[in-house]
């Protein structure tokens, strides 16, 4: 029972982290119709910038400044890169962001090298918040939850309650109309792209100390983020939230309960074959849930795409 | 993609039949001749290895372009089909009785069959739509299969992969393919055959409709074709040829690992194809040759080769979406007008300084890298056959000056080049 | 009486709460030239899209040669002999004019998804496409990319693509929209020529074209057909007068 609680907290942390990335990605996608392949690269940049700043000015300045730099970079990429490629169509746009992801990874290796950076949890938060049945919950995790929830609330407030939010929402569905009403739609696009990447930057800053700051970090999380928004339904913010949490919990639980595939097969009435050596399915029998935890999201995605192609909360494709 | 002027098959129909036959066959005869003669020109064993690698990449890139260029489907996980073809061939190599019952050159067919088989399964749900959704599914499925490779050890061999021995096949006219040169001719045979088949595919009804569906799926539907099934057939065919490339890889290296199907490999083939140019059939061939050369030559010279490759790729996407083939074909009208001479001087005046400037920039990049990452006390570095101390000012000044001057000259002469270009492209008299 | 080429019964379409098509019954006979007219926003294009399965109807049936085609995909309907053009030019702009027409011939000549035939080797395809090009007077433009043609030429090409497959029910959505007088006359003659002996259903704004071409006319107002009949009868119908006059008066305010 207590273990469940620990897992719920851990899964929540992972899920909310995923959501900070998938929220920005979804906003950008529904506005411009382009999936930003380099989104997780901005997450990585956030972590590296924060690390560099934290050496000089400490973690908190890093948390404040790094996302701003990342956001400005993101806006620049939109302005001078994407907007140019936009004229060629969606597929070249996607290829562009893919190339950008490659280049950012190389750039990071160029500047900081291939090793993991010693980017650590700030001292203030380096203690145990409380323990559940002998499992200590670090304060930093609680901090991560608060930051993500806070950002989500802020985003929701801006999008639904403010004038800027209204314009953005309108520009999502009717860019032409909004433009003819005198709003600068390209500027809005650039702004949304900047904010979306800045969000990824925040995620990077707070994830860097726990998940590690290394050149492969974008790649590790990047494809999971895509899977998340496909599962949630492309362009649906709530779908992204649901899918992020789902994946967070799914992978956490799969990792902590050591279920073997043979147990599951036995439970549904298939008995384990006597001689395993010649069986081509032998690996399938011995697979355990921690082993497949990382590929569960992909399996889930394939299932969703087969049975509900529009995603969990996505609108049906017309 | 707006600039996809695929080679126009209707033109040849207009010409005299006999004439058009030699016209169409000529490039293939030349290619066959070149493939035959290459080992006599480049005799070293490393050259053979590079060429084998090149031809395999050519097949894979052409297969990839059946999707991207001809069908408008962007895949981020196409290495999976080549990889699975390779693994299947490896298992056949290790099934000694069966493997001994046919000669080695037949083996890639099995790779093709397995590649196509997997494509049939995945395609059944992934080809419902093109564009972003297709791209995402390809990525997800690619990741899934790549990640499964460490779990399903029986088929993928875990982290070590699977190795085998090609010489156990039935001797092919007494040949057991012990030597690299034998494998070279086997690969050459397959590259020619596959390229020809893929070219012919683009001339079949389903191949023509792939273009139609790429450009305007709705119109194609109102012509009696289901966009989805057209995509599906292209996808399966592409999986087949990717599988052949995988089979050839297995024969060449006698080991297949997770690296053959992971996302990085899928990314590389996208890069190769796009660099070469997706709008023309021969684009991926150029891409594969250039990329393999750059990879092998540059990676010996610098650690940063992937950085340069990435920059080149991004520049291609932004400024030359037609790729190298597009750049080449831009010049066809100029030659037809007989005005190519007009371009020689401006090209010389702009491109040469630009190239020097870019080399200067690369020198700066290399020096920065050395400055930051070389071990303490190791201040010496060698660049462009010169050895110097990267911690002194002089080399930096020189590199900076070369970069600035080169790029500045290129910038000043660029308008003249532009003018010469439009002159060369207009039909009227030269002013 | 023989089976009508196209028969609509109780056809209804709502988008959310907005009823766009409010129960349409219409029967169009074989080889009839039928025009659908009506003020802007009456639902003419929606009606077209319902018949050709671009949208699914909320209620009602569409019968092509007596066969229910609701629930079929556009390509299946096309194979049953119905072909359409679009209000906004819908061709393959990157392909040559000849290729455009040849693609339109592939299915009807039985090539299906084959990958064992080479299109260049088929004399029947080449000659068939050239014959269509001759009909629409685009033979000289044969090898140009379709996107480089003039607007009127692109419209002509679209009509060519639409009829190429040999469909016997042809639906044209505003074929003369945005054209000059001479271009309109040209296209009208072209339509007359290429739909000889076929069923033609067209949406059109230009009354000159409508009264010149159509055997019968239906007037669609706010999703309902208020009159169907011979051009002279429709013109004299007081309800039609009122609808058009009413719309004209509204537009003034």
> ipTM value of the model?
0.88
* pLDDT, position B430: 47
Identify the closest residue of chain B to C126 by CA–CA distance.
Answer: B13
pLDDT tens per residue across span A22-46: 988 888 888 777 888 899 999 999 9
* Out of C108, C117, C119, closest to residue B224 by CB: C108
Task: Check C106 against B208: CB less than 8 A apart.
Answer: yes
- For residue C61, give the H/E element and its range: strand C59-64
* Cα dihedral B23, B25, B31, B34 sign: negative
Residue C225 sits in a domain whose CATH number is: 3.40.50.300
Q: How many domains does the structure of chain C reveal?
A: 1
Q: How far is CA A82 from CA A76, A261, A314, B317, C87, in A?
A: 9, 46, 25, 10, 31
C-alpha C10 chain-centroid distance: 21
pLDDT for the residue A247? 92
Helix (H, G, I), strand (E, B) or coil at C217: strand
Residues B363-381, mean pLDDT to the nearest whole number = 78
Average per-residue pLDDT for chain B: 85
Is a pLDDT exceeding 80 seen at residue B323?
Answer: yes
**Highest-scoring range by mean pLDDT, A150-154, B32-36, B204-208, C246-250:** B204-208
Task: Compute the count of residue pairs across chains A and B with CB atoms less than 8 Å apart.
Answer: 132
* Selection from B229-243, C45-59, C99-113 with the highest mean pLDDT: B229-243
**Tell me, what's the pLDDT at C70?**
87
Cβ(C97)–Cβ(C133) under 8 Å?
Answer: yes
Domain ranges of chain A: 2-245
Q: How far is C52 from chain B (nearest CA, A)?
A: 9
Q: What is the pTM of this model?
A: 0.88
Residues in a beta bridge with A138: A128
Chains interfacing with A (3 or more CB pairs < 8 Å): B
* Cβ contact, residue pair B221, C75, below 8 Å: yes
Q: Name the residue with higher pLDDT: C159 or A294.
A: C159
Query: How far from the centroid of its chain's Cα atoms is residue C33's Cα?
Result: 11
**Does residue B351 register a pLDDT over 70?**
yes
Lowest mean pLDDT among A87-96, A280-289, C8-17, C175-184: A280-289
Residues A169-185: tens digit of each pLDDT: 777 677 777 777 777 77
For residue C154, is it within any domain?
A: yes
CA distance C123 to C93: 24
Closest CA to A114 of A215, A218, A211: A215
Q: In which band, very low, low, confident or very high, does the pLDDT at A116 lie, cut at 50, 70 and 90? A: confident
Token pair recorded at residue B258: 């997770």
Nearest to C120 among B5, B13, B229 (CB): B13
Which own/partner pairs from C222-228 qualify as long-range (CB within 8 Å, at least 24 positions apart)? Answer: C222/C22, C222/C42, C222/C43, C223/C13, C223/C19, C223/C20, C223/C21, C223/C22, C223/C24, C223/C42, C223/C43, C224/C22, C224/C23, C224/C24, C225/C24, C225/C25, C225/C26, C228/C26
Across the range A110-129, mean pLDDT stands at: 80
Tokens found for residue A65: 């400044």
Please write the tens of the pLDDT for every residue from C68-85.
Answer: 988 889 999 999 989 998
A282 contacts B132? CB cut-off 8 A: no
Nearest alpha carbon to residue B343 among B357, B332, B356, B355: B332
Q: Evaluate if residue A151 carries a pLDDT over 80.
A: yes
Verify whether the Cβ–Cβ distance B267 to A98 is below 8 Å: yes
Collect all residues with Cβ–Cβ distance below 8 Å to B170 and sequence separation of at least 6: B100, B101, B102, B103, B104
CA diameter of chain C: 64
- Whether residues A227 and B76 touch (CB distance < 8 A) is answered with no
Nearest-by-Cβ selection for A91 from B1, B271, B365: B1
Please state the rounded mean pLDDT for residues B407-428. Answer: 81
CA atoms within a 13 Å half-sphere pointing along the CA-CB vector of B180: 13
Per-residue pLDDT, averaged over B199-216, amounts to 92
**Element containing residue C171 per DSSP (H, E):** strand C169-173
What CA–CA distance (Å, rounded) separates C60 from C25?
A: 9
Contact B205 C120 (CB under 8 A): no
CB-based contact B209 C93, cutoff 8 Å:
no
- Can you list the domains of chain B with their CATH numbers? 9-308 (1.10.3470), 333-425 (no CATH)
The residue with greater pLDDT, B119 or B340, is B119
Reading the block at residue C96, the tokens are 């040559």
- The answer to whether the Cβ–Cβ distance between B136 and A35 falls below 8 Å is yes
Rounded to a whole number of angstroms, the distance from the CA of B276 to the nearest CA of chain C is 20
In angstroms, the Cα distances linking B159 to A145, A255, B150, B246, B260 are 36, 21, 6, 18, 12
Please give the distance of CA A87 from its chain centroid, rounded to a whole number: 28
Nearest Cβ partner for B203 among C92, C104, C118: C118
Residue-wise pLDDT tens digits, B125-170: 889 888 878 888 888 889 889 888 888 888 888 888 899 888 888 8
Contacts of C120 in chain B (CB under 8 A): 9-10, 12-13, 203
| Partner C contacted by B21 (CB < 8 A) | no
CB contact under 8 A, A291 and B136: no
Span C99-112, mean pLDDT? 88
Chains with at least 3 CB pairs less than 8 angstroms from chain B? A, C
pLDDT of residue A202: 92
Point out the least confidently predicted range of A123-127, B1-5, B361-365, C226-230: B1-5
Whether the predicted pLDDT of A154 surpasses 70: yes
- Domain housing C187: 6-252
Q: Edge-to-edge strand order for the sheet containing C224-229?
A: C82-84, C169-173, C199-203, C33-37, C216-221, C224-229
Give yes or no for C113 touching B (CB within 8 A): yes
Nearest CA in chain B to A85: B318
Average pLDDT over residues C231-246: 79
**Residues pairing with B162 in the sheet:** B256
Contact B204 C107 (CB under 8 A): no
In this structure, of B2-6, B160-164, B409-413, the range with the lowest mean pLDDT score is B2-6
pLDDT reading at A316 higher than 60:
no
């Amino acid at each position: 029972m207590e273990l469940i609680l620990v897992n719920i907290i851990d899964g929540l942390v992972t899920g909310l982290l995923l959501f900070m990335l998938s929220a920005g990605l979804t906003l950008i996608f529904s506005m411009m119709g382009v999936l930003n392949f380099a989104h997780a690269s901005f997450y990585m940049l956030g972590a590296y910038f924060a690390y560099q700043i934290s050496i000089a000015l400490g973690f908190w300045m890093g948390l404040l400044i790094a996302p701003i730099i990342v956001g400005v970079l993101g806006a620049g990429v939109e302005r001078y890169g994407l907007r140019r490629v936009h004229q060629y169509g969606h597929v070249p746009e996607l290829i562009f962001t893919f190339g950008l992801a490659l280049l950012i990874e190389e750039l990071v290796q160029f500047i900081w090298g291939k090793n993991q950076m010693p980017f650590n949890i700030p001292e203030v938060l380096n203690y145990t918040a409380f323990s559940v049945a002998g499992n200590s919950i670090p304060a930093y995790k609680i901090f991560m939850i608060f930051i993500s929830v806070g950002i989500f609330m802020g985003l929701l407030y801006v999008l639904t309650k403010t004038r800027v939010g209204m314009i953005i929402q309108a520009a999502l569905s009717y860019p032409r109309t909004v433009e003819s009403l005198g709003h600068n739609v390209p500027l809005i696009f650039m702004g949304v792209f900047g904010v979306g990447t800045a969000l990824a930057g925040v995620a990077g800053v707070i994830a860097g100390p726990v998940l590690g700051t290394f050149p492969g970090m974008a790649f590790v999380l990047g494809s999971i983020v895509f899977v998340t928004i496909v599962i949630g339904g492309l362009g649906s913010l709530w779908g992204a939230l649901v899918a992020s949490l789902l994946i967070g919990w799914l992978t956490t639980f799969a990792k902590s309960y050591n279920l073997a595939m043979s147990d599951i097969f036995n439970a549904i009435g298939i008995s384990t074959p006597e001689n395993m050596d010649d069986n081509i399915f032998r690996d399938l029998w011995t697979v355990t849930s921690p082993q497949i935890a990382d590929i569960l999201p992909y399996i889930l995605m394939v299932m969703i795409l087969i049975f509900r192609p529009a995603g969990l909360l996505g609108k049906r494709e017309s | 993609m707006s600039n996809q002027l695929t080679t126009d098959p209707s033109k040849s129909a207009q010409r005299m039949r006999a004439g058009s036959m030699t016209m169409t066959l000529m490039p293939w005869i030349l290619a066959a001749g070149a493939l035959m003669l290459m080992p006599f020109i480049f005799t070293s064993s490393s050259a053979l290895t590079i060429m084998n690698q090149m031809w395999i990449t050519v097949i894979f890139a052409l297969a990839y372009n059946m999707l991207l260029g001809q069908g408008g489907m962007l895949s981020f996980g196409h290495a999976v089909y080549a990889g699975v073809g390779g693994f299947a061939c490896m298992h056949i190599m290790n099934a000694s009785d069966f493997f001994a019952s046919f000669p080695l050159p037949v083996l890639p067919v099995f790779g093709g069959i397995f590649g196509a088989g997997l494509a049939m399964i995945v395609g059944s749900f992934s080809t419902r739509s093109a564009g972003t959704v297709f791209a995402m599914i390809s990525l997800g499925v690619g990741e899934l299969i790549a990640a499964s490779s460490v779990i399903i050890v029986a088929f993928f061999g875990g982290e070590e992969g699977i190795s085998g021995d090609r010489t156990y096949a039935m001797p092919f006219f007494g040949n057991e393919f012990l030597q690299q040169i034998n494998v070279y001719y086997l690969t050459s045979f397959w590259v020619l055959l596959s390229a020809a088949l893929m070219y012919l595919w683009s001339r079949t009804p389903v191949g023509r409709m792939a273009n139609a569906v790429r450009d305007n799926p709705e119109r194609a539907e109102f012509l009696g074709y289901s966009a989805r099934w057209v995509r599906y057939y292209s996808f399966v065919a592409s999986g087949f040829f990717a599988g052949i490339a995988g089979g050839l890889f297995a024969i060449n290296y006698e080991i297949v690992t997770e690296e053959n199907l992971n996302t990085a490999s899928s990314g590389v083939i996208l890069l190769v194809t796009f660099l070469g140019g997706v709008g023309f059939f021969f684009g991926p061939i150029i891409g594969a040759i250039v990329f393999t050369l750059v990879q092998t030559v540059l990676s010996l010279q610098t650690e940063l080769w992937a950085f340069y490759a990435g920059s080149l790729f991004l520049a291609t996407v932004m400024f030359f979406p037609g790729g190298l083939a597009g750049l080449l074909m831009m010049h066809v009208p100029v030659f037809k007008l007989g005005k190519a001479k007009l371009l020689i001087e401006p090209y010389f005046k702009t491109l040469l300084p630009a190239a020097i400037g870019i080399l200067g920039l690369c020198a700066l990049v290399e020096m920065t890298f050395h400055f930051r990452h070389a071990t303490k006390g190791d201040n010496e570095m060698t660049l462009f056959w010169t050895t110097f101390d990267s911690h002194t000012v002089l080399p930096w000044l020189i590199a900076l000056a070369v970069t600035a001057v080169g790029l500045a000259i290129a910038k000043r002469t660029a308008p003249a080049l532009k003018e010469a270009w439009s002159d060369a492209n207009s039909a009227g008299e030269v002013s | 009486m023989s089976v009508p080429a196209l028969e609509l019964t109780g056809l209804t379409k709502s988008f959310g709460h907005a009823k766009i098509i409010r129960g349409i019954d219409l029967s169009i006979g074989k080889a009839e030239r039928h025009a659908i007219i009506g003020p802007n926003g009456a639902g003419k294009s929606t009606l077209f899209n319902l018949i050709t399965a671009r949208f699914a109807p909320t209620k009602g049936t569409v019968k092509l040669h007596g066969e229910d085609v609701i629930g079929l995909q556009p390509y299946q309907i096309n194979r049953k002999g119905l072909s359409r053009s679009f209000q906004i030019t819908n061709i393959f702009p990157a392909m040559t004019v000849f290729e455009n027409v040849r693609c339109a011939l592939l299915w009807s000549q039985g090539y299906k998804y084959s990958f064992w035939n080479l299109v260049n080797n088929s004399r029947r395809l080449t000659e068939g496409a050239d014959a269509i090009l001759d009909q629409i007077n685009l033979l000289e433009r044969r090898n140009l990319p379709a996107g480089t043609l003039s607007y009127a030429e692109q419209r002509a090409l679209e009509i060519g693509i639409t009829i190429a497959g040999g469909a016997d029910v042809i639906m044209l959505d505003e074929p003369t929209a945005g054209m000059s007088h001479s271009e309109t006359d040209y296209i009208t003659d072209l339509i007359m020529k290429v739909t000889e002996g076929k069923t033609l259903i067209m949406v059109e704004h230009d009354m000159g074209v409508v009264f010149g071409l159509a055997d019968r006319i239906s007037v669609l107002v706010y999703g309902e057909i208020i009159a169907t009949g011979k051009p002279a009868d429709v013109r004299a119908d007081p309800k039609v007068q009122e609808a058009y006059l009413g719309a004209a008066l509204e537009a003034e305010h």
